[in-house]
Structure 1
């Protein structure tokens, strides 16, 4: 049975403290050594900075509490995605990816994996199960999709993929373990860009892979060790610190996003809005079944490019930026990266500002568009 998220958050905050001896620092030390004292045979002791680091291990311990599964830390979300794909695919196999998901995952698959003999096929998130999964070796799911916020049924798809002998990977970046738990829904691996909400302060690039499958875990660990896709100790330390406030920040962000989405839904300048927490959203019923929270991302469609840019620019409490999940609310026009969205589509990431001044600011900016 899944643990209460509040209990998981409390366990995380006191995870390090439970093992401390008198005089030990409560805060995690930052260990940046590339060498370790290693006389005689290695005997599983720390050996070299590309393989071992105490700060990574403490971070991975915390991530494992959140995911309820062993975790491997990486220097970015794309490093984590790369590890999951390269650890599970070989030449001649077939990979299914979302056509409307994060565009860099598509670039990795179509520009590099395909050159190594992997057949790559794409389907939109809304029709992801159409055609079945016979002959597909690895299925990569992103739900909600980024940036369109469409959903697919993770549990149903994972069950169908497993029945065909395939592996399911879920990118859970938009939701975090406090908003959605893909492993509990049947996924084999979870990947996440911890650069976003887990780090939370827009000052670190990190990612992780989680899995309960021992063979897959070993393959991912081998990929990190051999490829050298390792996080810095400083980045691991920053993410560890960020995780301790993730539950509080995520709660504020989700609550604020719900309030903002409900208010903006009827605004005359908003042609369309996507937020799984809205009763009118086409994904609402599925979101209630498979998500613990509705998240902090909102999709707004305004009239055109100029109105989208004017909205972002005039908002005092929005940072125009291409990432999301930070304490500062941010927004961007996603078509500029080639996503298949309208010219006036804005991905709005709700931060940790008090909701009333943030909402007033957004409304003021939208009112000026009319």
Structure 2
């Protein structure tokens, strides 16, 4: 049966029900496993804790079901991105990367190759001739520009390049890159996917068995595996993903409108606003708009006053959790205006959040 998102989230990756057993079995913590004393290791049977763990396998099944591909989980989003970029440079030195995407991915790429072409997410896209891999991030973090995954993935394939999409901000309920033609979907599960701000996680999904095998071998050799308890927490948290995203998107729509009409705010970006430059493409390509809004105040001092005055908005560099957080991106050396704020809507009651936001913006003036 073709279930809707909420049902899929609740049941994804769970074993068949057995009387007397929990819905989600507890984490398998042991690193060594008993081997068959005669036959030794056997395919499909855990033999050692670095390449195999039943808890990861359940989580991978759950994420893979939502993304529409075969999943591998990693210790963090950066571990997952590292695996993908390494996969690219094994095929050739040239990478095409977003100039306005997640800032840590750019120095990582520079460590792997001297031939990196940086392109704004909004384009125009370059000629992909000679590229081994194209990494897209849409919506881009933190500017929230959007690019056309189907068009750019097809262009990459025609040029002989692999394509990957950083799907961290929208999650697989907001966007399914593999269905749009991308070879790989990669994300940090630390953020909205798990949504409780209590773990680190990354993952890679693909429909290509050869790419999956190569990425799995990389993970096995480098050891970038998640802890079983973190994997169990992630799987537990995914059951509420549809509920959390629905409230966050609802809050973001209201927050974006308030920001757009407040005199302290110089600019607002949220792809769900009809006046946003990315609105047409975002609403066509995405299944729902994420709960992240970017806005600009006058300067650092205005942002400082904003944080000091707010009772609900916490300063944090992660996003996508239950609690509303915000982050002044320039403090990390990101190439953004001093007053640019990435605002991640939590699941608080909308009226409370808007009341707090309004008085904090008043103070920022």
Give the TM interval when normalised to the shorter protein. over 0.9
The alpha carbon displacement at 1:91 in A equals 7.0
Cα displacement string for residues 302-335 of structure 1 (whole angstroms, at most 9, x for unaligned residues)? 1111001211221111110111011000001101
- Give the distance between the partners of 1:104 and 1:14, measured in 2 at CA: 34
The alpha carbon displacement at 1:87 in A equals 2.3
Give structure 1 stretches of 5+ with no counterpart: none
The alpha carbon displacement at 1:282 in A equals 0.8
After the TM superposition, which parts of structure 1 deviate over 6 Å for at least 4 consecutive aligned residues?
Answer: none
Q: Secondary structure of 1:88's match? A: helix
Match of 1:159 in 2: 154
Q: Which of the residues 127, 130, 133 maps onto 1:138?
A: 133
The alpha carbon displacement at 1:341 in A equals 1.4
Q: Does 1:288 align with 2:283?
A: yes
Cα displacement string for residues 44-82 of structure 1 (whole angstroms, at most 9, x for unaligned residues)? 221000011111011111111111111000010001111
Cα displacement string for residues 179-208 of structure 1 (whole angstroms, at most 9, x for unaligned residues)? 111111110001010000112111100010
Q: Does 1:42 align with 2:37?
A: no
The alpha carbon displacement at 1:17 in A equals 5.3
Match of 1:206 in 2: 201
Cα displacement string for residues 241-300 of structure 1 (whole angstroms, at most 9, x for unaligned residues)? 111111110111011101111122111111110000111111111111111112111111
Give structure 2 stretches of 5+ with no counterpart: none
Q: Does 1:55 align with 2:55?
A: yes
- Give the distance between the partners of 2:260 and 2:42, measured in 1 at CA: 61
Q: Secondary structure of 2:203's match? A: strand
- Give the distance between the partners of 1:8 and 1:260, measured in 2 at CA: 25
1:91-130 map, 5 Å: 92-110=92-110, 112-114=111-113, 119-129=115-125
- Give the distance between the partners of 2:193 and 2:213, measured in 1 at CA: 24
Q: Does 1:7 align with 2:7?
A: no
The alpha carbon displacement at 1:16 in A equals 5.3
Match of 1:307 in 2: 302
The two structures, once aligned, show a CA RMSD in angstroms of 1.5
Match of 2:273 in 1: 278
Could you tell me the TM-score, scaled by structure 1's length? Answer: 0.95
Q: Which of the residues 248, 251, 269 maps onto 1:253?
A: 248
Could you tell me the TM-score, scaled by structure 2's length? Answer: 0.96
- Give the distance between the partners of 2:232 and 2:137, measured in 1 at CA: 27
Q: Does 1:174 align with 2:173?
A: no
Tell me the matched-pair count: 362
